[in-house]
Amino acid sequence: MFKIIFHQIWNQRRMNAWIFIELLIVSFFLWIVVDPVCVLTATMNIPSGYEIEGRYVVKLNMYEETHGKYDAEAAKNDSLKVEHYNHVARLIRDLPEVESLAIPVQLSFPGSGNWSGGQLFRDTADVAKKDFVHMQWYQFVKEGNPFATYGMRDVRTGEYLIPNEELNGIYISENLALELFGTADCVGRSIYTGQEASSSRVIAGVFQDYKHFDFTQPYPMGLYYEGEIEASPWMQWRYPFVFKLKAGVDEKTFRERFIREVAPQFNRGNIYFSDFMSFQEIIDECNELRGPNNKIRLSYILSGFAMLCIFLGMLGTFWIRSDARRQEIGVMCSMGANRHRIIKQFLMEATLLVSLAFLCSIPLLLHYAHVKGMYVAMGSGLYPILSEKYWMNNFYEHFGLVSMVTYAILLGISLLGTLIPVVRASRILPADALRDE
Amino acid sequence: MIKLYFKQAWTMMKQNKLFTSIYVAGTGLSIALVMTLFIIFYVKFAPIYPEHNRNRTLVVRTTKRINKANAGNWSTNMGTSWTFTNKMLANLKHAEAVAAVIPSWGEKKQVSRIGGKETIEVPHVLVNGDFWRVFTFDFIAGHPFEAHEMEAVSPVVVISESLAQQMFANQAPLGEKLYLDGREYTICGVVKDVSNATPVTAGDIWIPITHYAQAVTENPDMGLMGTISNYLLVAEGSDKDDLRAEVLDIMNKYNQQDKEYYHEFFGQPDDYWMSTFRGGWADENFTVWSLLHEYIYILLAFLIIPALNLSGMISNRMDSRMSELGVRKAYGATNGQILSQVLWENLFLTLAGGLVGLLLSYLIVETASNWILTLFDDFNPNRNQAMEITFEMLFNPVVFGSALLFCVLLNLISALIPTTWALRRSIIQSIHTKR
């Protein structure tokens, strides 16, 4: 059967040339647009290192000098501002629906607009050599439990990390521990966050890898307590409140009650309640703002276009071809071939064409992947610390997987385009077909 | 003659319904996507309300502040400071006006009538006096805020027609007061509504930037960084390069006198079209080629892949018309005449596909307007905004002309090679060919 099919393809080489070139170009094009979809989808499915359900962020704001409600006296009273912030923290913590509270510094919560990072040294010798590991940091006010509130788990026990409230301690992610020491078993060891000896901190715990952005791979992270709430002209942007609801709380009812009854109590002096969002809403907005949603949409549109072109191309080619081969189909039927066999032969022909074109595109794709690089979902400006445990970071695994997905899509759509005219042609009666002979 | 070609094409369309359908669908798909791409960029670049001066505008939006002693110590912001606009860019010889804008980016403020209980959330834009000279708003009533109103920090605002309608119904809004951020403002002008598709100028209320302390207060830790986008209108008789050189000269002088930091602007001031591609922050890798090559590849794919599809089909059809072509040649038709006939026939089909594609592209842009206009943006602060597509964005000579041009191009690419190959056969071979 293969011999016959090869003969057919060769005999109709001029007609096949057009669809072959189209398949070749589409293979290349489709691979390029499928790559970001595969990588972004896989990256978004990497465990985030925190939990989303029942987590909320509350933000306060302050009236500016030009605002009609601005209170110049209240603006001068720093202790009143701090007291009010502590009052808001107590109000939230004492709500019957709330399980735990954390007060991050500098928008230290997932998907926030702030990304703060710095250098970390193993020891003083590394400080001298400037041999550092780059990390993102989250800071928290001493009061509160960020691990239970965010759902960050101890890498050893799998339970929420328990803070020991040691001010000089630092909690680090597993990937940061591996970068620094090659092992996650490093609690009690010292590291340096700066070039001075005073910047030494003791590792107080290791938590599971953490993703600040949903669409990037986990980046090495350090988390530490900074002290207490301090008054400043920009404290409204510095200290949001994050809390976790108890299991079983109806979130819709809670949100309504929170806005209606609780939030108005946050307004005092120049401070007023400004924003209330769930982790899920923040992450969705972040994905919309920072491009991954647009990238996926664009890739879907371009893939759809390429697939539709191939569908129409195969449909047209095989429609004309099956019409032109009516006599051959008639002869095959009269010799005892059933419909199934005729359809199979045409589908095999299409499969060979697609496979051949895809194989020919592989060297071009390899060249492209080497020269241009494959898609990497990583925040811009970050140090390329990419773990080998993800297939996206391994060249051949990455290339192979994206190629397989592309080939499967291409073959599927081509066979669909072929099937329609071939089924139609195979329904012809042998007597009708042979009349053309 | 052309009439005859079209007549023949029409007859063949009716005879070969499948060929016609696939041809029109393939062409339509290609034209629809090319035109969608084109409309997206037309809305981004072309002079449309209220940004009719885009072709005469230069933009400075982002800067990077770098420590002179340690280049690794830097910070960047999505705008410049008020000092930069108000002092450094004041009195430019080659600029007619310098607009300072802090767009709303979807942020809303609550406004209400004085004494009224109902509040409305509206997007707001903070602007300086020159904003009204750089951007060409249609004032239905009143006037922009004057320079003295800016300096006196006088509480006046300009509002949109739809907000005026919503707040004051049939009452004349001019001179009326509204309540915003705890203050009373007087309405000094009402302008025709602006679509969110022009995100820099879009809003419902335009407020003097000097009313916002945060926007205009100096922060010594930030240098020239801030939140303001600057739009420089080139003066009559000057060109963009003159203005660009003048601004760069000012920046260089500033960098020389600052002992601790220098500010990098990475090629800015940009032409307006180029500024739309800049992300949120200053990027040293930003070049014309880095932003254009991706679009060129996409455009080529939109043209070449369907063209190959059509070429294959035309090639098959030429095979079935070989004897007809042979007879025409035998009666004296030249290859040029036959080629012209086939191209005209196919152009007829391509135009039919082009029309379908253009309508389809309008449908795509209209139904997916909320996200498709920002589809190519890596940084999308204008997310989740309802984007009104106006008549001038879709129905204009540039869009129609481009659709026609792409049809002709597609027709040439797809029909030329298979037809030329078919015409290489001799009269005898052609007449004897039987499919």
Instruction: Write the pLDDT tens digit of every residue in B285-313.
Output: 677 777 777 788 888 888 888 888 888 88
Euclidean distance between CA atoms B55 and B35, whole angstroms: 22
| ipTM > 0.90 for the complex | no
Q: Rounded distance, CA B232 to CA B59, Å?
A: 6
Q: Which of B7-21, B131-145, B199-213 has the lowest mean pLDDT?
A: B7-21
Cα end-to-end span (Å), chain B? 28
Counting every residue written for chain B, the total comes to: 435
A14 neighbourhood in chain B, CB within 8 Å: 315
Q: What angle do CA B388, B390, B396 make, to 5 degrees?
A: 150
Phi/psi at B65 (5° precision): -105, 115
pLDDT tens per residue across span B19-39: 888 888 888 988 898 899 889
| A-B C-beta contacts closer than 8 Å | 115
Alpha-carbon Rg for chain A, nearest whole angstrom, is 31
Query: How high is the pLDDT of residue B434?
Result: 55
- Taking CA atoms, what residue in B is nearest to A436? B435
B375 contacts in A (CB within 8 Å)?
294, 297-298, 301
pLDDT value of residue B17:
83
CA B359, B364, B369, B375 torsion-angle sign: negative
Q: How many CB atoms lie within 10 A of CB A202?
A: 13
Give the pLDDT confidence of B409-427 residue by residue, as tens digits: 888 888 888 888 888 888 8
Given a cut of 70, whether residue B281 has pLDDT beyond it is no
A317 touches chain B (CB under 8 A): yes
Residue B435, pLDDT above cutoff 50: no
Taking the C-alpha atoms of residue A97 and residue B5, their distance in angstroms, rounded to an integer, is 78
pLDDT at B433: 67
Separation of alpha carbons A422 and A315, rounded Å? 9
Comparing C-alpha atoms, which of B227, B222, B226 is closest to residue B260? B222
Q: Which of A29, A312, A319 sits opposite B26 (nearest CB)?
A: A312
Q: What is the mean pLDDT of residues A348-361?
A: 93
Greatest mean pLDDT among A186-195, A390-399, B213-222 lies in A390-399
* Contact criterion met (CB below 8 Å) for B102 and B227: yes
Neighbours of A420 (CB within 10 A): 15
* Per-residue pLDDT at A321: 76
CA distance B393 to B202: 15
Among A302, A363, A23, residue whose Cα is nearest residue B301: A302
| Size (chain A), residues | 437
Task: Report DSSP state, residue A121.
Answer: B
Which of A366-370, B147-151, B152-156 reaches the highest mean pLDDT? A366-370
- Residue A423, C-beta contacts closer than 8 angstroms, at least 6 positions apart: A343
- Give the closest of A288, A294, A301 to B384, CB-based: A288
pTM recorded for the entire structure: 0.83
**Residues in A touching B181 (Cβ below 8 Å):** 64, 66-68
Range of lowest pLDDT (A246-250, A425-429, B397-401): A425-429
Q: What is the pLDDT of residue A42?
A: 94
Report the first-to-last Cα separation within chain A, whole angstroms. Answer: 23
Nearest CA to B211 out of A64, A434, A193, A420 is that of: A64
Cβ pair B353, B313 in contact under 8 A: no
Largest CA-CA distance found in chain A, in angstroms, rounded? 102
**Contact by Cβ (8 Å): B271, B127:** no
Nearest to B312 among A19, A63, A305 (CB): A19
Q: What is the mean pLDDT of residues B387-409?
A: 85
CA distance B27 to chain A (A): 10
pLDDT confidence of residue A232: 84
Task: Tell whether the model's pLDDT for residue A384 goes beyond 90.
Answer: no
Whether residue A302 lies within 8 A of chain B, CB to CB, comes out as yes
Q: Centre a 10 Å sphere on the Cβ of residue B227 and count the other Cβ atoms it contains.
A: 20
Cβ contact, residue pair A297, B371, below 8 Å:
yes
